[in-house]
């Protein structure tokens, strides 16, 4: 038996739902805090740091703003939670640029710390070609700066041949030894055998430099092949014009009259 909702209840749900969702969003996300500068700093007094990173103590906000204007810089609130708030005289544009670079580096570091998982198959009976495909995938992850967890699974009676899984993981360690180092050696966890490799940054940088050098040599050789050979004077030899044909002697009128 179906239950029907009255019109009043339906209108109530339709009207209230967006408001509930909006309140939930603001509760989870929280307000966006913006950096206050110059005339937006309305609290007084403040603790001031000048453009030379020297402590000026607690001063009136209007006095600090006058000092910033005289220096051709901005008054930036850098620690609003302090009592009194801490402000600094600086170039606000440069401050925002440096802050964005720091955020970029932190995001890149968190991205590089991400763990990638490569599964070698649901069984120990996997084709060697498929294993090589997964090893190449792990190599790409390591070169990009990620840690890699390789997982070998066992099915049924394959648990009696765990030495085969250990041999496979040891072979992978040797295969990826030029770009990685062992962070966690192979260990058994139920029907899974895992191995964690971390990127070896000095080795990876050396490989990248070698690849760039070989690429540059190949490009130079290709450019040399496209340049035509030069003459003795170093200039491009010009094509020789064909010699004009020799004029043929036509019989003159006097010769014809003698005949």
Q: pLDDT, tens digit, for every residue of 86-118?
A: 999 999 999 898 888 888 877 766 665 678 999
Is 73 domain-assigned? yes
- As a whole number, mean pLDDT of residues 155-160 equals 88
More confident residue, 236 or 63: 63
Residues 118 and 181 in one domain: yes
Q: Is residue 15 part of a domain?
A: no
Q: Note whether residue 32 is domain-resident.
A: no
What pLDDT, on a 0 to 100 scale, did the predictor assign at position 86? 95
Q: What is the CATH number of the domain that holds 191?
A: 3.30.110.10
The parent domain of residue 172 ranges over 113-202
- Among residues 154, 156, 158, 152, which one has the least CA distance to residue 171? 152
pLDDT of residue 116: 92
Does the predicted model carry a pTM greater than 0.85?
A: no
Number of folded domains that form the chain: 2
pLDDT at site 16: 46
Question: Per residue in 7-44, pLDDT tens?
Answer: 544 444 444 444 444 444 444 444 546 889 999 999 99
Q: Is residue 27 part of a domain?
A: no
What is the average per-residue pLDDT within 69-96? 92
Whether 58 maps to a domain, the answer reads yes
Task: Round the average pLDDT of the chain to a whole number and report it.
Answer: 80
Predicted pLDDT at 230: 55
* 154 neighbors 147 (Cβ within 8 angstroms): no
Mean pLDDT of the region 79-83: 90
Comparing 226 with 170, which gets the higher pLDDT?
A: 170
Do 120 and 192 have their domain in common?
A: yes
CATH number at residue 53: 3.10.20.80
How big is the CA angle at 112 (ends 180 and 142), to the nearest 5 degrees? Answer: 25
Contact assessment for residue 153 and residue 119, using Cβ atoms and an 8 Å cutoff: yes
Per DSSP, what are the bridge partners of residue 92?
A: none
Do 183 and 145 lie in one domain? The reply is: yes
> How large a percentage of the chain has pLDDT more than 70?
71
Angle at 14 between CA 12 and CA 17, to 5 degrees: 95
Burial 90-126 (b: 16+ CB within 10 A, else e): bebeebeeeeeeeeeeeeeeeeeeeebebebbeebeb
Report the pLDDT value the prediction gives residue 104, as an integer from 0 to 100. 82
């Amino acid at each position: 038996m179906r239950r029907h909702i009255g019109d009043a209840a339906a209108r109530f749900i339709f009207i209230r739902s967006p408001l509930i969702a909006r309140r939930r969003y603001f509760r989870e996300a929280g307000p966006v805090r913006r950096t206050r500068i110059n005339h937006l700093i309305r609290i007084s007094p403040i603790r001031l740091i000048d453009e030379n990173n020297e402590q000026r103590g607690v001063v009136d906000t209007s006095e600090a703003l006058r000092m910033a204007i005289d220096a051709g810089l901005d008054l930036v609130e850098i620690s609003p939670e302090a009592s009194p708030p801490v402000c600094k005289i600086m170039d606000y544009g440069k401050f925002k640029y440096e802050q964005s670079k720091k955020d970029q580096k932190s995001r890149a570091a968190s991205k590089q710390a991400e763990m990638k998982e490569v599964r070698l198959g649901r069984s120990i009976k996997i084709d060697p070609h498929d294993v090589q495909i997964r090893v190449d995938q792990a190599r790409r992850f390591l070169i990009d700066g990620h840690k890699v967890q390789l997982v070998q699974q066992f099915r049924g009676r394959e648990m009696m041949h765990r030495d085969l899984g250990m041999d496979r993981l040891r072979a992978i360690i040797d295969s990826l030894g030029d770009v990685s180092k062992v962070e966690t050696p192979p260990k058994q966890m139920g029907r899974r055998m895992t191995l964690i490799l971390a990127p070896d940054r000095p080795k990876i940088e050396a490989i990248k430099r070698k690849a760039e050098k070989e690429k540059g040599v190949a490009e130079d050789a290709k450019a040399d092949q496209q340049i035509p050979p030069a003459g003795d004077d170093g200039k491009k030899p010009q094509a020789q014009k064909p010699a004009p044909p020799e004029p043929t002697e036509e019989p003159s009128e006097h010769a014809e009259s003698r005949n």
